[in-house]
């Protein structure tokens, strides 16, 4: 196992694209421009302790030596003899591993924090975005070095929701961790709604398995830095409908692309754009459910895709089960037409709820989206979830709502037949009139029988444990490893 004294000290970067450094004229810790600030501030572990361990200190490198820093509510400064007994050691900080490579530091129940004016201090009783940092060295988040288990600051509160909503800029990742040995995946996709949820979860759980995964929004212009990003990231992951822009505008080689289909429609779009042969050129080709696997083959794509199943973070959605059924929720687009076909059919779900004498509530719309991070709160405001589509791939609402302990009713499309078979919900007929009648009758029954409703919701919630990412993420690892092997051949 590595010795702390032999590990390269880490530079630290704020989540807002600045780097920590010591203003030598003032002897104070500050943060500023990555390109213009001196590389004279580092974090190093306590070399007197064995590994694993998280205690370390900030040091100022000057004239070939490292001088520790003393931090308190007033700021951080280079230790001097006036600091009495702290002069030799400085302030010992506990490194807090967070998620996706983000870390924090705490001492005495307070968190190290940056402020917009460039100052640094040890003053916050919580850890949010200005209290998060990225480190230049892999060891700062290596569980073999810092140990297993969650961060455990004595009194500081970690604002998990705010931290989760922070999207790590791939340009910042590239600048802050240029020498990382981890396999790096750049996702070119939509960072909101279901795609955003999947990509966020992928980045979180794949990081824990040694991969760096970051996303760039395919609706934004990345011409200023795309060349550097493509040189830094080993592979690019995108849905089939993003392949054309990647390969034509950004000149990404097909052999560097992992194409992951989230719906049969994006396969059809790519076939129309590029033909069947393009699927054989990808470093890897995956789909998010068994349903899409079959749909791909039936469309004439001869390369069998790898299945990379979508999961949920069960604990994030788990909630108390309501005592009775009063409100029906709908967590998808109310209406979507593709090739002239309406396939979401939200009006059927609303009609069923109204016929059962229940309130109907939606989770926003395509033009007025709520963050996928706020979806757990939405499920707590409803007592059932309906899905009425004629085509899906791997519906998140049926799994998320199940984990929340809500009554789940949906059409037999996508992966829902499998989830329902596993106990995660009730299958309704797909025909429009039959769906409405069945859903209304089922809702009415559980509305009039609260005890049966609670019992059914409890069974659904227990079944939803099977949908957790811990059971799915291995398939994404297999997909990436296949891509690495194929890319190496090219």
Degrees (nearest 5) of the Cα angle 113, 105, 318? Answer: 100
Examine the domain organization and report whether 221 and 263 are in the same domain: yes
* Mean pLDDT value across residues 336-365: 93
Examine the domain organization and report whether 422 and 350 are in the same domain: yes
Q: Indicate whether 304 pLDDT > 80.
A: yes
Task: Say whether the peptide bond before residue 52 is cis (omega within 30 degrees of 0).
Answer: yes
Q: How many domains does the chain have?
A: 3
* Mean pLDDT value across residues 146-175: 86
For residue 311 the two structure tokens come to 């999961």
Q: Indicate whether 394 pLDDT > 70.
A: yes
At which of 116, 133, 165 does a domain end?
Answer: 165
Instruction: Report the number of secondary-structure helices (H) and strands (E) in the chain.
Output: 16, 29
Q: Indicate whether 313 pLDDT > 90.
A: yes
Question: Would strands 306-307 and 284-287 be described as parallel, antiparallel, or unpaired?
Answer: parallel
Q: Indicate whether 385 pLDDT > 70.
A: yes
Degrees (nearest 5) of the Cα angle 260, 264, 267? Answer: 60
Secondary element (H or E) of residue 145: helix 143-146
CATH label of the domain that carries residue 223: 3.40.50.2000
Secondary element (H or E) of residue 488: helix 473-489
Burial of 239 (0-12, 13-18, 19+ CB in 10 A): buried
Confidence of residue 418 (pLDDT cuts 50, 70, 90): very high
What is the domain range of residue 435? 314-467
140 lies in a domain? yes
Examine the domain organization and report whether 306 and 268 are in the same domain: yes
Residue 49 falls in which region: left (phi positive, over 0), alpha (psi -120 to 50) or beta: beta
For residue 23 the two structure tokens come to 């203003």
380 lies in a domain? yes
Examine the domain organization and report whether 268 and 347 are in the same domain: no
Q: Which residues, other chains included, contact 281 with Cβ-Cβ below 8 Å and sequence gap of 6+?
A: 254, 255
CB 416 within 8 A of CB 427: yes
Which DSSP category does 405 fall into? Answer: T
Examine the domain organization and report whether 273 and 393 are in the same domain: no
Examine the domain organization and report whether 161 and 241 are in the same domain: no
Confidence of residue 49 (pLDDT cuts 50, 70, 90): confident
Examine the domain organization and report whether 460 and 480 are in the same domain: no
Q: What is the pLDDT of residue 64?
A: 84
Q: Indicate whether 84 pLDDT > 60.
A: no
Predicted model pTM: 0.94
Alpha helices in 308-345 (DSSP H): 314-317
Instruction: Render 446-458 in DSSP notation, one character per residue.
Output: HHH-HHHHHHHHH
Examine the domain organization and report whether 38 and 145 are in the same domain: yes
Q: Indicate whether 452 pLDDT > 90.
A: yes
Q: Indicate whether 8 pLDDT > 60.
A: yes
Question: Whole-angstrom distance between the N-terminal and C-terminal Cα of the chain?
Answer: 35
Q: What is the pLDDT of residue 3?
A: 77
Least confident of 260-269, 341-350, 392-401, 481-490: 481-490
Confidence of residue 123 (pLDDT cuts 50, 70, 90): very high
Q: Indicate whether 238 pLDDT > 90.
A: yes
172 lies in a domain? no
* Mean pLDDT value across residues 453-468: 98
Secondary element (H or E) of residue 205: helix 193-207
Examine the domain organization and report whether 446 and 479 are in the same domain: no
The torsion defined by the Cα of 350, 353, 359 and 361, in degrees rounded to 10, comes to -40
Examine the domain organization and report whether 128 and 213 are in the same domain: no
Q: What percent of the chain has pLDDT over 90?
A: 87
Examine the domain organization and report whether 129 and 113 are in the same domain: yes
Q: Indicate whether 177 pLDDT > 70.
A: yes
CB 59 within 8 A of CB 67: yes
Q: Rounded distance, CA 475 to CA 256, Å?
A: 19
Examine the domain organization and report whether 85 and 129 are in the same domain: yes
170 lies in a domain? no
């Amino acid at each position: 196992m590595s010795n702390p004294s032999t590990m390269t000290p880490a530079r630290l970067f704020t989540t807002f694209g600045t780097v920590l450094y010591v203003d030598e004229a003032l002897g104070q810790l500050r943060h500023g421009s990555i390109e213009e600030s001196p590389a004279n501030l580092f974090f190093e572990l306590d070399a007197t302790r064995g590994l694993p361990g998280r205690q370390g200190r900030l040091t100022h490198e000057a004239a070939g030596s490292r001088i520790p820093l003393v931090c308190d509510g007033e700021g951080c400064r280079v230790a001097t003899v006036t600091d009495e007994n702290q002069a030799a050691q400085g302030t010992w900080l506990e490194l807090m591993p967070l998620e996706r490579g983000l870390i924090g530091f705490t001492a005495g129940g307070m968190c190290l924090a940056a402020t917009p004016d460039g100052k640094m201090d040890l003053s916050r009783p919580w850890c949010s975005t200005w209290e998060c940092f990225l480190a230049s060295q892999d060891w700062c988040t290596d569980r073999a070095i810092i140990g297993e288990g969650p961060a455990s600051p004595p009194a500081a509160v970690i604002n998990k929701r705010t931290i989760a909503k922070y999207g790590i800029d791939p340009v910042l990742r590239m600048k802050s961790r240029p020498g990382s040995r981890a396999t790096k995946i750049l996702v070119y996709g939509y960072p909101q709604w279901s795609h955003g949820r999947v990509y966020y979860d992928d980045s979180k759980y794949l990081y824990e398995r040694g991969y760096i995964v970051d996303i760039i929004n395919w609706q934004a212009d990345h011409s200023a830095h795309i060349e550097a990003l493509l040189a830094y990231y080993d592979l690019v992951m995108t849905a089939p409908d993003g392949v054309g822009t990647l390969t034509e505008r950004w000149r990404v080689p097909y052999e560097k692309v992992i194409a992951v289909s989230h719906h049969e429609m994006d396969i059809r779009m790519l076939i129309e754009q590029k033909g069947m042969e393009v699927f054989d050129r990808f470093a890897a080709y995956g789909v998010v459910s068994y349903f899409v696997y079959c749909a791909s083959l039936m469309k004439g794509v001869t390369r069998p895709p790898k299945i990379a199943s979508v999961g949920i973070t069960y604990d994030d959605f788990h909630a108390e089960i309501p005592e009775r059924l009063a409100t029906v929720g709908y967590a998808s687009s109310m209406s979507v037409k593709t090739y002239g076909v309406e396939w979401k059919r939200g009006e059927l779900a609303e009609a069923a709820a109204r016929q059962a004498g229940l309130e109907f509530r939606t989770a926003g719309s395509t033009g007025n989206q709520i963050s996928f991070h706020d979806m757990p709160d939405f499920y707590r405001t409803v007592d059932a979830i309906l899905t009425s589509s004629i085509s899906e791939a791997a519906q998140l609402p049926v799994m998320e709502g199940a984990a929340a302990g809500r009554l789940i009713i949906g059409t037999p499309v996508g992966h829902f037949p499998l989830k329902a078979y596993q106990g995660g919900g009730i299958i309704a007929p797909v025909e429009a009139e039959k769906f409405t009648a069945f859903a209304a009758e089922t809702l009415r029954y559980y509305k009039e029988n609260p005890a049966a409703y609670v019992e059914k919701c409890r069974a659904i919630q227990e079944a939803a444990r099977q949908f957790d990412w811990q059971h799915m993420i291995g398939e994404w690892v297999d997909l990436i490893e296949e891509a690495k092997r194929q890319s190496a051949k090219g």
